Structure 1
């Protein structure tokens, strides 16, 4: 989702979990987890569930940390620099989280992740589920004075599919009729399944019925783009606050790179009367201790916390809010490298990492060791997808890992393999990378190098497939297992592993064409099983995250699997 998101994020996001970090995350954040060896919280220190955030904030005593002093404003930590703010080419959760506050999509999600009107006031759907007609609000304006019209969506979605933009998320728009054919140069733009019937009426025709279609429209890559503004700024669009335009509840008025972003209320937003805040400052503190110190000093109102920090705050009787962010964290292998093309080596590495110990002793929250790729937040047919598909890989099996490693070395005809893992530069990311490095050394005798770099550099290395192994995370863009499983389609923009399977691609095609929900879900089970057999990724854990909120905020904070950070409707304490 996802999240939804690349929830293409890598380790440094770990820190943002603490806030989060794609989008289909997406990138999306930090790592939080606990394990059954962690003592059960007492009644006074139990984590607050995400579904009762407003009630918890109103009832809890947070006077010890009253928050920032500026009136009608909050400061939140997003941990890392957004690599870019051009929705067509964005892939990370941090960027999508910022975008959510400054650009309004056709539809948006409410606090319960239900689809609600955005730019589109109403819509209708044909009986066969293929054609949607959206009636847009009249009177909405971009910050350059241009009206928000159906043409802004046509321009954005056509750009998403245009090969020259090289969007990693182009495949997302294959849901539109002839989307893939246009992307491959087989048809012209006039045959695309979306068109402006008028300035305020947009018709969309799908390639196939999709029960999750409306929820995908809330995702950042489907945001509108004003063509006049894009033509004015060209390739610089979205690189600075004054090089893009806004139609959402806030406008970006300042972007101090690697430091902070300032958002100020947009008086022209159609729903401005419901926006209580005048300003949101988003700071980029990627050191967990520095973030906590800033919170306690009254410089930040919302931060993510590590497992150790959460326990410390509970010890002060300060409420810690926990939520399942719907993301899956894993090692992603570059199968273009000869050694990693060997499936037994990939399996050996996967089985050699003690995920239960990792979640219990390093992450220390409600995160769960992964026994598959798609996480528990995703719906299945009647229950959660993970319940229906079952456990597909062991959370830890060092003996089998050793046997697989010996077989892999024999098949490769070598005595050892040399591999490098790229990682984020936050303190949490470095800690997690060190854990993986030690696990492989102890349990396999495999010594890998770790290369530390900034978040933006990691994303570039992933997109360019310039890595051997990367510690990565993916969050949901919408609530369906496809938001995870279509990542690994041959040639897919977010398939950084170069995994290619004819059987896998055929199953994806069947999912997209199938109308019977039970049959469709059966194909999704098969996809998950095939992925966990081939293992182009090594699932480690399914993340939950902890965060704390200052006494200044009375409610309106939204942190879910499908909205990693949403502060649009925050209300302040009186």
Structure 2
């Protein structure tokens, strides 16, 4: 996501000490007398998504904000329930062969796109073929390697007719996998596997997904307006197969990247859901206002461009990572129950018998200034320089600017290293990362499905999300073993080895594992889902009567 994706913003949202709701499901504000009443429009809510979605074409999307919007307007073969369990979407049921390689999906025949076209198996074949077609340059093309011949097609070795998915009929889709994959169904709920109507794509071409009127919809809502850098309006889709179960008539998603402005908008009844920073959590607690929290499953870290003449040095990367006091970062900036990251894969991910991060153990110190100085001096000697010049790119939100300032100060005080901070709009940061036009970037990664591979496969040589140009033959070989190993114990041993290699080579420097806080207006009674695998899901929101 998970966010499987890049996190839509490095804005830091804090966790209240007294948890008032179960993780992932926030059901009510309990009709609190002090509840801010929310927006006045009937059967409508307004929520803050903080930043502009860079694009809404599922094949090329990479960020959590875009996937959040897509979840409401395009339905996949399967979706996730409030507990992140797979449930039917466009596919009403399916069967799996005894060897776990062949899935046959039976599609509902009563779904249609907003252009009147029926939703068929051909829409998935078109979308998944596009995902794997090099000319689309999808950063997530490697997700399609799960299909038989997916990688071979992406690398030009076979034709599209040999791909492991085909429409047996308009409403039956057969999928053959390269290897048995236990988490395959979970991945199908992720946005890159969304269907795309071929007729609509051919009509709009490369403009597909750039405006509300340049794409089509088969989900519970349709996008009726997109005022760029301002707001997106979603309205209930009357043609959705389950429309009678959707209570909301409209969802307005605003893009307020200043946390104080967002809180003010919430308090005056212009927004019904916003995220909070640490100071704001304390303010709302003083008002005895319900604050909700969830661990979003993301790791935030510094990405080091290994093509940089300085950052190609492993000792320098370790020095920078160890010189940042991660608990102090949480205490002074995040101010919540986020955790210092002592490995890469976030705590939400399952391991063999426990959470994977527990099975891996601590692979880096949360802070070690002496060790950092030792590595820094080694780096200066190996690079044969007296000083190093680097810049850090960040989002331009107020919280992101604080993040950058903290890192800058830590490196100055603990290493004597001066770095330049470059704030920029979220979309620009993503472009710079994709183009590998940066020295260091403060970024984040959330899970797309519940397996360590959702974090670890991005470092494969040539992976579209491998912005740091990391390449390690041993790592690539282990990834191949993970994908083909049927013995669970051996597979997870390989995964632990991958984690260890990343934390030794350190192409990224993990900072913290994030928890997030938010508030709801009294207008929202129940139905908000926020989990590590569904950053925001408002489809089944119920309003107070």
TM-score, normalized by length of structure 2? 0.99
Once residues 496 and 52 of structure 1 are traced to their aligned partners in structure 2, the CA distance between those partners, rounded to angstroms, is 34
The match for 2:26 is: 53
The match for 2:308 is: 337
Q: Structure 1 unaligned runs (5+)?
A: 16-29, 35-40
The alpha-carbon deviation at position 518 of structure 1 amounts to 1.0
Residue deviations 1:323-348, cap 9 Å, x none? Answer: 00000000000001111010000000
The match for 2:423 is: 452
The one of 14, 25, 33 aligned to 2:10: 14
CA distance 1:449–1:62, shift in 2 (3 Å) = farther
Residue deviations 1:206-251, cap 9 Å, x none? Answer: 0001111000000000000000000000000000000000000000
2:349 is paired with a residue whose SS is coil
The match for 2:523 is: 552
The alpha-carbon deviation at position 9 of structure 1 amounts to 3.1
The alpha-carbon deviation at position 31 of structure 1 amounts to 4.3
The match for 1:32 is: 14
The match for 1:2 is: 2
Map residues 517-556 of structure 1 onto 2, 5 A cutoff.
Answer: 517-556=488-527
The match for 1:132 is: 103
CA distance 1:189–1:70, shift in 2 (3 Å) = same
The match for 1:88 is: 59
1:483 maps to 2:454: yes
2:26 is paired with a residue whose SS is helix
Q: Structure 2 unaligned runs (5+)?
A: none
Once residues 447 and 330 of structure 2 are traced to their aligned partners in structure 1, the CA distance between those partners, rounded to angstroms, is 21
Once residues 14 and 420 of structure 1 are traced to their aligned partners in structure 2, the CA distance between those partners, rounded to angstroms, is 17
Once residues 109 and 444 of structure 1 are traced to their aligned partners in structure 2, the CA distance between those partners, rounded to angstroms, is 46
2:45 is paired with a residue whose SS is strand
Residue deviations 1:295-315, cap 9 Å, x none? Answer: 000000000000110111011
The one of 486, 500, 505 aligned to 2:476: 505
Residue deviations 1:181-224, cap 9 Å, x none? Answer: 00000000010000000000000000001111000000000000
The alpha-carbon deviation at position 361 of structure 1 amounts to 1.7
The alpha-carbon deviation at position 356 of structure 1 amounts to 0.6
The one of 381, 392, 402 aligned to 1:410: 381
The match for 1:168 is: 139
Once residues 202 and 331 of structure 1 are traced to their aligned partners in structure 2, the CA distance between those partners, rounded to angstroms, is 41
The match for 2:324 is: 353
The match for 2:275 is: 304
Map residues 189-208 of structure 1 onto 2, 5 A cutoff.
Answer: 189-208=160-179
2:83 is paired with a residue whose SS is coil
Once residues 207 and 56 of structure 2 are traced to their aligned partners in structure 1, the CA distance between those partners, rounded to angstroms, is 10
2:252 is paired with a residue whose SS is strand
1:568 is paired with a residue whose SS is coil
The alpha-carbon deviation at position 32 of structure 1 amounts to 3.3
Once residues 25 and 480 of structure 2 are traced to their aligned partners in structure 1, the CA distance between those partners, rounded to angstroms, is 39
Once residues 415 and 423 of structure 1 are traced to their aligned partners in structure 2, the CA distance between those partners, rounded to angstroms, is 27
The match for 1:25 is: none
The match for 1:26 is: none
Once residues 527 and 50 of structure 1 are traced to their aligned partners in structure 2, the CA distance between those partners, rounded to angstroms, is 29
Residue deviations 1:278-310, cap 9 Å, x none? Answer: 000000000000000000000000000001101
Residue deviations 1:82-140, cap 9 Å, x none? Answer: 00000000001000000000000000000100000000000000001000000000021
Query: For this pair of structures, how many residues does the alignment match?
Result: 545
Once residues 74 and 10 of structure 2 are traced to their aligned partners in structure 1, the CA distance between those partners, rounded to angstroms, is 26
The match for 1:401 is: 372
CA contact (8 A) 1:48 1:322 kept: yes
TM-score, normalized by length of structure 1? 0.94
The match for 1:237 is: 208
Once residues 357 and 150 of structure 1 are traced to their aligned partners in structure 2, the CA distance between those partners, rounded to angstroms, is 51
Once residues 486 and 335 of structure 1 are traced to their aligned partners in structure 2, the CA distance between those partners, rounded to angstroms, is 18
CA contact (8 A) 1:33 1:362 kept: no
The alpha-carbon deviation at position 176 of structure 1 amounts to 0.3
The one of 187, 193, 198 aligned to 1:222: 193
Map residues 419-498 of structure 1 onto 2, 5 A cutoff.
Answer: 419-498=390-469
Once residues 372 and 277 of structure 1 are traced to their aligned partners in structure 2, the CA distance between those partners, rounded to angstroms, is 41
CA distance 1:31–1:373, shift in 2 (3 Å) = farther
